[in-house]
Structure 1
């Protein structure tokens, strides 16, 4: 069995995806709904998924919670709350008491879109992270490589809060850069309350050359060595991955990049770690 710890859904008639800019995004500029997800995973080993927010819109999360209740494969939701709001704690509480609020397991913010590399350690954001910790949720880090130093500081200040690093902090794969990203990944992984998603890498490289395990291996090897397989989990980043590879190709690529590991280590990456982090049932 496999858990896909990271995918999205959207309906453009309900909400614009403002991050889709330029003709290169044309392949994504359509609705991606539950039937599309089920078609994408059909025939694969994926039996549970984690639905992740796409835009900083407070209305999106309740909609995702309802979807998770109605789509059998979706086991958990990672939503959005404005961590800088004075009533962030109350907003989290309203989501958790939503009729489908039991599916909410985490929150995230598009920190990568914040120009301030120290956004995560601003006092108002730190107050918001404390509210996430008190709510018993995980916090997902969607960051650029230059924001890793602030992430390291934030993680150290909240040892009881589980942080999940999305897309390996988006290393500069297309440029072939390994440092300082690799050293900072190792520093972040030194904190036991951080888990990393093996996701989003095909779109970090030249899309036309993907999927290519040989080009990505030097990055995934850093992640696997730093975190250890027990703190790494597979995520497709579908449908965003379609810019470079289809669902089956992304899953096969992840399997190839981890084929040197033991059976138990691969089971953790593709199943056990995500089930534990997101409290998924079999």
Structure 2
């Protein structure tokens, strides 16, 4: 019988953890980007990294921070992670990850952690490594400057509230959210088109590793929707991402958002898998 065990990983486990993350760099971009910057020290990482071992080999991970994220999680690993999460109690605002293990993780946790505020069981993961010839990048989309934080923040808050269903300003008054936006702006990974002193399109590269990056926060001002700005804007952000960040660019989208899925396909993205999100 194969001996299995689960434990909290530490700095000495970094190489083995990165090897697991590298096995699927597109799906694991979010967690990999955090680990590559912060290592496995819980204070720097912003949470614990749980590791599941089989036969002495690290096979699966689970990031337990503001999000609970299973990584390359085999069925037995999911059960082990669920038991550890159940014992420690819910500290996260969401569970998110590849659809199959995330669904099983939620099935095991729902009796003690439920009910959820929202469950999104199928969110297509889309990726591309090239620009489409069918959509020309918007020449007015550019990097957001540090002195434009007061202009970009209202658009970020509007996008978050529309997408997640709650305001990011709740709780701490938005201090953590503003710090995250400032981090993206400061690192040159926030992009927008401006008109009359307002943001009409925006998106960010939220996670980035040398192998892959992930676009997030795509938003068009309501009065500008239906004009194709999401397609040309995304093409512009994709061009920046491929040129400056990583050779593969990904995103995930709600399955019921058919216009967005069609738009991303026209820009060149193709479905490569599926995520699931459980929001509390």
Higher helix share: 1
Q: Larger Cα Rg: Structure 1 or Structure 2?
A: 2
Higher strand share: 2
**TM-score (normalised: structure 2):** 0.29
**TM-score (normalised: structure 1):** 0.28
